[in-house]
Structure 1
Amino acid sequence: MAKITVDSGYMWLGLYFVLNLSLTLYNKIILNNFKFPYSLTAIHTLCGSVGCYILYLSGIFVPAKLGDRENIIMVMFSVLYTINIAISNVSLHLVSVPFHQMIRAMTPVFTVVLSIIFLQKHYPRKIYLSLLPVVLGVGFATSAEYEFTYIGFILTVLGAVLASVKTIVTNRVQVGRLKLNPLDLLFRMSPLAFIQCIIYAHVTGELESVKEFSAEHMTYNLASSLLLNGLIAFGLNIVSFTANKKTSALTMTVAGNVKQVLSIILSILIFDYAINSTNAFGILLTLLGGAWYGSVELSIKRNAAQLLPTVNNNTTEDKYDRKSSDIQSHLSEKRDVVV
């Protein structure tokens, strides 16, 4: 029987669910009074920057020494992070929320396709099968009258693809050739993302609106709420990067889908959000699919661990879970394409 240790991937995945759900619901409350999503993201990244710097001064982690090529990768990663947020927010203005959620539900599929194309990764058939109820379940859970424009459709799909790329790159940066500590990655990414968010808020005119709002409506309670929101986001980033490193990119995308449905359940309980029988069926289907996927992955890893002393690296399990040397070699050749 597999033992789940204090530092196991599943423990970090559990923390990811708790913090992600907390931040999602907290963001909904904050944005009712502070309607500036890019400025709110800037607050998140500022808290990440300050928090990581404090941890660095405390000796909690030591930043790795990177060359020019690796530093360029960090800059590109931060740009990817910021663009992903920007496109997601812009697309929400052009399509209905249910349609947006349905397209984002395809993120695990994009993750599989991109991993196969760029990382030469192979997945057992059970993994593919377990993804079907997750994707279909979110579709049923968010079913409504889908409204969208063609440009909105393109941006929503692009946002889902970028979310997949970001998750894959996050995983490879931490377990590939760079092997960055999650805190080190956040330490490098947060200041760059903060600057980019401020620039985007300025270009869109949101920054000027924030100044006017703050002069008239900013209170101590709201400022404290924004700070607490940023601290939760900082904790979530640490947990998210660590869970990504200790599990896999695909696991994180599936976890994101299940989290989305759990958010709907909590919305029903907290905000009296109405659902029909189709929505309820979708919620149940997604949760069952997420549990199935987790069971399949755990079984594969357990079998791989048992076979490790007696089989070579050409087994199906090894291709799925321990192709580190091949992937690192291939990634060094494809790094520019993936990032």
Structure 2
Amino acid sequence: MGKGGTLTEGVLKKIILSYTYVAIWIFLSFTVIVYNKYILDRKMYNWPYPISLTMIHMGFCSSLAYILVNLLKVVEPVQMTRDVYLKSVVPIGLLYSLSLWLSNSAYIYLSVSFIQMLKALMPVAVYSIGVLFKKEGFKSRTMTNMLSISFGVAIAAYGEAQFNTFGVCLQLGAVCFEATRLVLIQILLTSKGITFNPITSLYYVAPCCLAFLSVPWFIVEFPKLRDGSSFHFDYLIFGTNSLCAFALNLAVFLLVGKTSALTMNVAGVVKDWLLIAFSWSVIKDTVTPVNLFGYGIAFLGVAYYNHMKLQGLKAKEAEKKAGQQADDESGKLLEEREGEKSGKKSESEN
């Protein structure tokens, strides 16, 4: 802050850049969700093959990541042993493939707005699985908040005009697999000092997803596609859709790298409200007052969860600064004592 409480040029530039990263991420996330809904929905583009769509994404991302890493040398590959790859990357790839498959499948049965309401359960799933794997400590206040989010989502589901049990099960399964993946990233990769940027992440994980998805694809969707001779692959539709999916991965890295994961969580709440409004006004999905009331309760729970996370981060930073100050003070005191000792020694020698 400058004189009179005004923002300095550097701080103002940082704020503008942060909002720009948030806007880019919201736009791309918004685009991918609506685009996937358009392709998969039987009333729109009418191509209800979620495994195939996910495989197209993974094949495109794998190829582009390979070109960027091995040919253009944009980023350096991570030092990866076969043991780490099999025990860490492969399980994460399996969970990611299941999460993408189920979440894309849900768009066939549920509205965009209701899917966003169900996604409010992500903090509940992440916290519960974190406690199960002993990465999070159990706190009664946090669990009460998780129950309030779940209660709000339950009310929103009760008020859903186009409720589909199978679609809800698909989306809840996607939330559970994604939450488990996020926890395992901390356990299997971050704890070992391995970090991925979005390009190296796709370079290692996307081929795994492609391999895992090929098994159910041969059983479930390949026979239908083989018999449906009327379909012609639209390179414009699927190419731009895959490019948006790849750009979204880059935007996630940009947002988290330049701001924080907490910023993305807060921005995600804004994105969900925008998607609900878009789904109601443009796609003409039915959004009932009970939907909004239930999601409002869940929204307050998620907002409180993000607030508590922010307070925890601030407390950790304060402890870190206090520790650094204590170390600096003890260092100065030690230097003073050593100076006094050397002074007394020189006096005794004289």
Identity of aligned residues (%): 22
Alignment partner of 1:21 out of 17, 30, 34: 30
Equivalenced residue count is 304
Q: Any conservation in 2 of the 1:141–1:282 contact (CA below 8 Å)?
A: yes
For residue 71 of structure 1, report the CA deviation from its aligned partner.
Answer: 1.0
Instruction: Give the aligned partner of residue 310 of structure 2.
Output: 298
> In the alignment, is residue 168 of structure 1 matched against residue 183 of structure 2?
yes
Q: Deviations over 1:119-177 (max 9, x none)?
A: 4423777755655554444444443375648xx98776554322210122235555331
For residue 89 of structure 1, report the CA deviation from its aligned partner.
Answer: 6.3
How do residues 120-139 of structure 1 correspond to structure 2 at under 5 angstroms?
120-122=135-137, 131=146, 134-139=149-154
For residue 270 of structure 1, report the CA deviation from its aligned partner.
Answer: 1.2
Question: For residues 82 and 99 of structure 1, do their structure 2 counterparts lie closer, same or farther at Cα, with a shift above 3 Å needed?
Answer: same
For residue 61 of structure 1, report the CA deviation from its aligned partner.
Answer: 1.3
Instruction: Give the aligned partner of residue 337 of structure 1.
Output: none
Instruction: Give the aligned partner of residue 68 of structure 1.
Output: 82
Question: For residues 40 and 269 of structure 1, do their structure 2 counterparts lie closer, same or farther at Cα, with a shift above 3 Å needed?
Answer: same
Q: Quote the Cα distance in structure 2 between the aligned partners of 1:8 and 1:168.
A: 29
For residue 41 of structure 1, report the CA deviation from its aligned partner.
Answer: 0.4
Q: Any conservation in 2 of the 1:106–1:135 contact (CA below 8 Å)?
A: yes
Amino acid at match of 2:52: S
How do residues 67-106 of structure 1 correspond to structure 2 at under 5 angstroms?
67-72=81-86, 73-87=88-102, 105-106=120-121
Amino acid at match of 1:192: C
> In the alignment, is residue 224 of structure 1 matched against residue 236 of structure 2?
yes
Q: Quote the Cα distance in structure 1 between the aligned partners of 2:92 and 2:105.
A: 20
> In the alignment, is residue 118 of structure 1 matched against residue 136 of structure 2?
no
Q: Quote the Cα distance in structure 2 between the aligned partners of 1:61 and 1:126.
A: 43
Q: Quote the Cα distance in structure 2 between the aligned partners of 1:296 and 1:129.
A: 13
Question: For residues 8 and 36 of structure 1, do their structure 2 counterparts lie closer, same or farther at Cα, with a shift above 3 Å needed?
Answer: same
Larger Rg computed on CA atoms: 2
> In the alignment, is residue 203 of structure 1 matched against residue 246 of structure 2?
no
TM-score, length-scaled by structure 2: 0.69
Question: For residues 286 and 28 of structure 1, do their structure 2 counterparts lie closer, same or farther at Cα, with a shift above 3 Å needed?
Answer: same
For residue 268 of structure 1, report the CA deviation from its aligned partner.
Answer: 0.9
For residue 52 of structure 1, report the CA deviation from its aligned partner.
Answer: 0.9
Q: Any conservation in 2 of the 1:171–1:244 contact (CA below 8 Å)?
A: no
Instruction: Give the aligned partner of residue 324 of structure 1.
Output: none
Question: For residues 272 and 103 of structure 1, do their structure 2 counterparts lie closer, same or farther at Cα, with a shift above 3 Å needed?
Answer: closer
Amino acid at match of 2:37: K
Q: Deviations over 1:152-205 (max 9, x none)?
A: 98776554322210122235555331422222122111112123223321111x
Amino acid at match of 1:35: P
TM-score, length-scaled by structure 1: 0.71
Alignment partner of 1:267 out of 252, 263, 279: 279
Question: For residues 17 and 283 of structure 1, do their structure 2 counterparts lie closer, same or farther at Cα, with a shift above 3 Å needed?
Answer: farther
Q: Quote the Cα distance in structure 1 between the aligned partners of 2:48 and 2:193.
A: 38
RCO higher in 1 or 2 (8 Å CA, sep ≥ 6)? 1
Amino acid at match of 1:305: E
RMSD, aligned CA: 4.0
Instruction: Give the aligned partner of residue 192 of structure 1.
Output: 208
Q: Quote the Cα distance in structure 2 between the aligned partners of 1:96 and 1:279.
A: 14
Q: Any conservation in 2 of the 1:130–1:289 contact (CA below 8 Å)?
A: yes
